[in-house]
Structure 1
Amino acid sequence: MVKIRSASEICDFFSIKKEKAARKPSQQFAHLFNAYVQAINKQNARHGSLLETPFRRKHIKNESFLKNLILYIHNNPIQHNFVEKIEQYRWSSYTSIISNQKTAIERDKVLAQFENKENFIYCHQQKMEITSLEKWLKL
């Protein structure tokens, strides 16, 4: 099973944890992207392809790098000047993680990586150095 730890619609990145599954992660992502495209097409009364390139996978071996990737994903809307604050971007998992509402995001595991909710919020408020992360992601 693939579990999503963080997401943001504009950056095309998902931070995931892979567990033993009956289906391959690529099949699960194909279903996820198919449902996403159908929902966007229905919402905008359009048809056809929405995603232009196939998704890429990178194995994240280091928990500290995963933590930085989560920060990168959530800060991406700010980097691209869509919003001034993370909380303003409604298509990000950030607000789901800091809220108490039911979510498919692994909130407890994400917050544990940052020790607690307060530190999670604090880390997101700090200026982030993204050059090395973008090189690794080959952006």
Structure 2
Amino acid sequence: MKLQKLETDRYYHIYNRGINGALIFRSKENKTYFLKLMNKYLSHKVSILAFCLMGNHYHMAVQVIEEEKIVTQSFSNLFNAYAKAFNKMYNRTGSLFEKHYRRVLVQDTNYLRNLITYINTNPAYHGVNKDYKTFEFSSYRSTVCQDSNEDLVPIAKEEVINLFGDTENFEYLHEQKRKLDINRLDLE
């Protein structure tokens, strides 16, 4: 399978899950450490518009701001460093993530807005936390300037809010997505 190149100034949905759907985050400390590694390896190479860390998967919306080779290596370093630390902590060996992280080129602004909303409301979508606004390991709180993980992972807040027009519209569209997700869960 040929992987999508990470081109400068383009937006991407980056995501992956644990091998065979296994947990990649077993604790709050695991998630906090992953965020620290995101900052360490991705800072100044990509602009992070959204992220969410779930038990067995993660999502990111990023804009590439460095050249492809540097960014690809930075993502590789992030995932390798995390997998090594996770394996050591839990006395395990072997792959943690599925083969390659997925990278989907975002083609237009509307898709980017929907992607950011999807990522931030992922806890509600999966029924983990119906109030996605209180979920600690997503970019939602950082974007609306509430207490957040911003000191761990800087979010391109101004750019994100501009994509939605203003903070009120950002919050409104997230709430509409959450209502759709809750209805979907009620039907299942």
Determine helix, strand or coil for the equivalent of 2:103.
coil
Pair 41,99 (structure 1): closer, same or farther in 2 beyond 3 Å: farther
Pair 88,38 (structure 1): closer, same or farther in 2 beyond 3 Å: farther
Contact 1:4–1:15 (CA<8 Å) still a contact in 2?
Answer: yes
2:57 pairs with 1:7: no
Partner Cα separation in structure 1 for residue 168 and residue 81 of structure 2 = 34
Q: Deviations over 1:56-96 (max 9, x none)?
A: 21111201100100111111111111001112221111111
Backbone CA RMSD of aligned residues: 2.4
Equivalent in the alignment of 2:166: 116
Residue 124 (structure 2) aligned to one of 63, 75, 78: 78
1:23 CA displacement:
4.1
Equivalent in the alignment of 1:125: 175
Which 5+ residue runs of structure 2 have no aligned equivalent?
Answer: 1-44, 182-188
Which 5+ residue runs of structure 1 have no aligned equivalent?
Answer: 131-139
Which structure 2 residues correspond to residues 1-139 of structure 1 after superposition, within 5 A?
1-10=45-54, 11-21=57-67, 23-38=69-84, 40=86, 45-48=90-93, 49-99=95-145, 102=151, 103-127=153-177
Pair 107,41 (structure 1): closer, same or farther in 2 beyond 3 Å: farther
1:40 CA displacement:
4.5
Partner Cα separation in structure 2 for residue 74 and residue 99 of structure 1 = 14
Partner Cα separation in structure 2 for residue 64 and residue 81 of structure 1 = 25
TM (norm. structure 2) is 0.59
Pair 80,19 (structure 1): closer, same or farther in 2 beyond 3 Å: same
1:39 CA displacement:
5.3
Partner Cα separation in structure 1 for residue 111 and residue 80 of structure 2 = 29
Aligned length: 129
1:34 CA displacement:
2.8
Of Structure 1 and Structure 2, which has the larger fraction of its residues in strand? Answer: 2
Q: Deviations over 1:4-26 (max 9, x none)?
A: 11011124321111124384322
